[in-house]
């Protein structure tokens, strides 16, 4: 009889850690029920084919497992991409990136200069109840969403942001995407979240902000056209009614990397 050793415990710990990361990402993306369904199917497959050794049922489930893995990769390619990005960009590995970042102070200084223009623009649009949706890219690429709108490629400027979201502007209904210190595009189309926990009073902008935060690691800012309230969405969570100080603090954490 084989003994349970340190290597087996290490093996179980790695699998448990991977399952935890997958669970967290699926929960943030609103597909947690599918995660539990796939997990239940795997348990049934192991019990029937490995423990009970039911040959007919086991062979059928084996075929489903082979095809099912390919289907899951196609259906959840965004979640898998996000999982790999988070795994590679975890805080415990960040010190390795800092070893090769020679202009770290310059990057932080540049990022700080663009925090206040975004805050000022959001506060001005909040006062006039001008609806806006601003997405700030993190690690995951957003090229597919950028191409759905019009390319701007300009420095971050509060007046430019306000003009783009002005009610008579042709780009005001879509989302603006910011990458680093540049406004990449505007009028972009984002995925809409179907999370049932979102209050009905919140409109399409809020659901789109939550949707992009579930599909990617992006940070989204929403200015409500009805109330003027400012909300942010990040990592599948929506926070409403932020003050200017709260927004500045959150943006500083996002734009100014450690």
**If you ran DSSP here, which 8-state letter would residue 252 be given?**
H
CA dist 239 and 222 (Å) reads 10
What is the DSSP-derived secondary structure letter of residue 194? -
**Tell me: the pLDDT tens digits for 182-222?**
999 999 999 998 877 788 888 899 999 999 998 888 999 99
Model confidence, pTM? 0.66
pLDDT of residue 205: 94
The average pLDDT across 167-179 equals 91
Three-state secondary structure of 64-100 = HHHHHHHHHHHHCHHHHHHHHHHHHCCHHHHHHHHHC
- DSSP codes joined into one string, 113-150: HTHHHHHHHHHHHHHTT--EEEEE--SS--HHHHTTSE
Structure-derived torsion over alpha carbons of residues 131, 137, 141, 146, reported in degrees to the nearest 10: 30
Map 14-42 to HEC letters. Answer: HHHHHHHHHHHHHHHCCCHHHHHHHHHHH
pLDDT at 258: 47
Phi and psi angles of residue 140, each rounded to the nearest 5 degrees, phi first: -75, 140
Q: H or E segment at 177?
A: strand 175-179
Contact yes or no for 169/163 (Cβ under 8 A): yes
């Amino acid at each position: 009889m084989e003994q349970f050793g340190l290597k087996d415990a290490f093996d179980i710990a790695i699998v448990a850690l991977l399952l935890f990361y997958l669970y967290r990402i699926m929960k943030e993306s609103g597909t947690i029920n599918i995660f539990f369904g796939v997990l239940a199917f795997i348990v049934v497959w192991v019990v029937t084919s490995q423990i009970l050794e039911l040959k007919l049922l086991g062979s059928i489930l084996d075929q489903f497992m082979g095809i099912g893995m390919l289907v899951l990769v196609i259906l959840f390619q965004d979640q898998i991409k996000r999982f790999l990005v988070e795994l590679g960009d975890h805080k415990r590995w960040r010190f390795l990136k800092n070893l090769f970042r020679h202009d770290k102070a310059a990057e932080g200084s540049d990022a700080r200069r663009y925090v206040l223009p975004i805050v000022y623009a959001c506060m001005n649009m909040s006062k006039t109840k001008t609806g806006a949706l601003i997405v700030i890219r993190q690690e995951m690429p957003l090229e597919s969403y950028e191409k759905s709108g019009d390319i701007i490629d300009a420095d971050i400027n509060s007046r430019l942001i306000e003009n783009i979201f002005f009610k008579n502007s042709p780009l005001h209904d879509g989302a603006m995407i910011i990458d680093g210190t540049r406004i990449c595009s505007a009028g972009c189309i984002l995925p809409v979240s179907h999370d049932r926990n979102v209050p009905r009073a919140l409109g399409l902008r809020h659901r789109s902000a939550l949707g992009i935060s579930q599909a990617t690691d992006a940070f989204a800012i929403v200015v409500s056209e009805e109330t003027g309230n400012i909300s942010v969405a990040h990592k599948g969570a929506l926070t409403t009614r932020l003050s200017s100080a709260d927004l500045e603090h959150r943006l500083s954490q996002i734009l100014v990397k450690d």
